[in-house]
Structure 1
Amino acid sequence: MQNRTGLNWDDYRIFLAVADNGSLSGAARQLMVTHSTVFRRINAMEDRLETPLFDRLPSGYQLTLAGEEVLEHARRMETESETIMEKLSTGDLTLSGTIRVATMEGLAMVLLPPFIRRFRDLHPEIRVDMVISSQVFNLSRKEADVAIRMGKATPPEHLTGRRIGTVSWAVYGAPAYFEQYGQPENVEQLKGHKFVSADSHEAHRGYAKWTRAVVDENDIVYTSNVVMAQRSAAREGIGLAVLPRYLGESERRLQRAFDVGPELDLDLWVLTHPDLHNKRVDTLVQFIDESVQQIQPMLNYAATDK
């Protein structure tokens, strides 16, 4: 909801977080967004209001007189928002409608379906439209309400991002393959082993570069532009494959040979656009976050020992 200044509740929410924490970094941690997002939104808010809201001091961000006036208004909005949310959560109203989720093939086919099933058990009036693409959907154009992505790069500043986990990679093979060729325990033992990997269109991917750096090109006997196809080929014993742990650990007909180091780790993000926030979307985002926290050992080798 916007007022005549062009500001919406999300702007005031960020303003309150900075006022409460006295710093951009503290606000970013509280809201689980990037430091640069908070910096940009506060500056934009001051530009719209045509007045500074904070004094930038060595000790942190301190409210100006104008900031104090805005704070009173923002507190009232916060109280009203909490009252509405409480009424919705304690009343008889049910969540309903459609949520459009954009994500990658492996996430859509393996990781997310159990989460979506449990989510719909709780909210049966919600329909989930899952859009599979390796491209980044434009959330601001409402191509999707939520995007769930893996990557090393920080998401665009205009999106609200929540990093919900880290995905590690490992070398996997079929039991029959290991019986015939032996099971390597480290990179040094990969010499002579057959591999399935990405084709030339996907050769820029981190796992594909790692494979070609440690394996002779002649030992790559099967390629595909789709990781799920590489997983299937490895399952059939065609060769070993470097897979994200959630794909390898969820396939009973694959065994993990050894974990690849953190150089291949990818952050798992759930992204939304500030203007598309509603209780339906926020509830799904929170549910996915909580669900991922429960399966960290399946995602990240570092969590296995904790």
Structure 2
Amino acid sequence: MMHRPNWDDYRFVLAVARSGSVSGAARELGVNHATVLRRVAAIEKRLGVELFEKSVRGYDIAPEKLRLIEAAREVEAAVGAVERLAQVGEAPLAGVIRVTSTDTFCQTVLPKLLARLSAHESGHGHELSFELLSTNSHLDLSRLHADVTVRPTYKLPDDLFGDMATQMAFGFYASSEAVPEDHWLGLTGGIGRSHAGQKLREELERRRVHFMAASDSFLTLRALAEEGMGRVMLPVFMGNASKMLRRITPVLEVPPVPIFVASHVDLADAPRLRQARSRIALALEAEEDFLMGLENVSPASELTEA
């Protein structure tokens, strides 16, 4: 009969999964490199499976082992909450939640929301923390680089499952009327491939404008526009917040972009991730007027300052 691993064995596996390396897991657990290697190898032998794909980049979770790792993470959260779960009420959201989004959201929207969620859970005695991963390219959630993605898009790809939480409007801006009408800033990379980015490029190319600069980041585009380098399309909550930019006449109508909160489709029903998505989506829903440019102050800012 196969020896059944105890919970302590899984701590080593999850630490490697979180950090992506044996050395990172060793630092997290306060043990040496060899101990981590030995414990991971032992549990793989007892289970009869290889949990990780080893490469020069580190330790990636083998795609077919996603469910096993997530099940272990559910156990991790449950072990930490066993006494609290005996109380009447909603099960706590606990543990580490990895959230990925664009640099715009990671720097201007999500920090206040996640801080509020973390403070709320900590105030009820629950240990909750977040890892916020900022990238304008799409992380591969099939390897658990992140648990939840907050993604502005008109349609989720087939490998993601989630719900629309809110929506975001775009506006057009320039530092002053002196910026020539044919001087523009272009969108490249992920934001350039978006529906709004493609429509803008087509319209500007039709008008034969001069692209004075371009970027794959709305934060960078705003900074370039503030220096007077060209006219620009920005999320309205970003453009309206700038004291150096003014609204200009739109060159085309851009429909609001839905904001989805999603997880990898294979893990969408995991209770911990379903709960995390729900909490983040509700917090984002409260920001809709701000994201649509109907108010200049985020409700999260007001609550944080209060």
**1:294 corresponds to 2:286:** yes
C-alpha distance in 1 between matches for 2:90 and 2:182: 60
Relative distance call for 1:204 and 1:198 in structure 2 (3 A) is same
Q: 1:210 aligns with which of 200, 215, 218?
A: 200
- 1:127 is paired with a residue whose SS is strand
Look up the match of 2:183: 194
Relative distance call for 1:121 and 1:202 in structure 2 (3 A) is closer
What's the offset of the Cα at 1:260?
6.7
What's the offset of the Cα at 1:248?
1.8
TM-score (norm 1): 0.56
**1:142 corresponds to 2:144:** yes
Q: Is the 8 A contact 1:169 1:259 kept in 2?
A: no
Q: Is the 8 A contact 2:169 2:255 kept in 1?
A: yes
Look up the match of 1:163: 164
Relative distance call for 1:132 and 1:256 in structure 2 (3 A) is same
Q: 1:152 aligns with which of 128, 131, 154?
A: 154
Stretch moving more, 282-291 or 90-99 = 90-99
Relative distance call for 1:241 and 1:291 in structure 2 (3 A) is same
Q: 1:238 aligns with which of 216, 229, 232?
A: 229
Look up the match of 1:69: none
C-alpha distance in 2 between matches for 1:288 and 1:115: 8
C-alpha distance in 2 between matches for 1:146 and 1:110: 18
Q: Is the 8 A contact 1:234 1:241 kept in 2?
A: yes
What's the offset of the Cα at 1:162?
0.6
* Percentage of matched positions with identical amino acids: 19
Q: Which runs of 5+ in 2 are unaligned?
A: 1-81, 297-306
Look up the match of 2:7: none
Stretch moving more, 280-289 or 88-97 = 88-97
C-alpha distance in 2 between matches for 1:101 and 1:245: 23
Relative distance call for 1:283 and 1:251 in structure 2 (3 A) is farther
C-alpha distance in 1 between matches for 2:244 and 2:103: 20
What's the offset of the Cα at 1:88?
6.3
- 1:297 is paired with a residue whose SS is helix
TM-score (norm 2): 0.56
C-alpha distance in 1 between matches for 2:192 and 2:95: 40
Look up the match of 1:35: none
- 1:123 is paired with a residue whose SS is helix
Relative distance call for 1:113 and 1:263 in structure 2 (3 A) is same
What's the offset of the Cα at 1:269?
0.6
C-alpha distance in 2 between matches for 1:128 and 1:194: 41
Q: Is the 8 A contact 2:167 2:259 kept in 1?
A: yes
- 1:144 is paired with a residue whose SS is coil
What's the offset of the Cα at 1:98?
0.7
Q: Which runs of 5+ in 1 are unaligned?
A: 1-83, 182-190
Q: Name the aligned partner's letter for residue 172 of structure 2.
A: V
- 2:260 is paired with a residue whose SS is strand
Look up the match of 1:5: none
* Aligned-residue RMSD, C-alpha: 3.5
User: Deviations 1:69-99 (Å, cap 9, x if unpaired)?
Assistant: xxxxxxxxxxxxxxx9x95673698643211
What's the offset of the Cα at 1:106?
1.2
User: Deviations 1:102-146 (Å, cap 9, x if unpaired)?
Assistant: 211111111211111211211233221112223333334322110
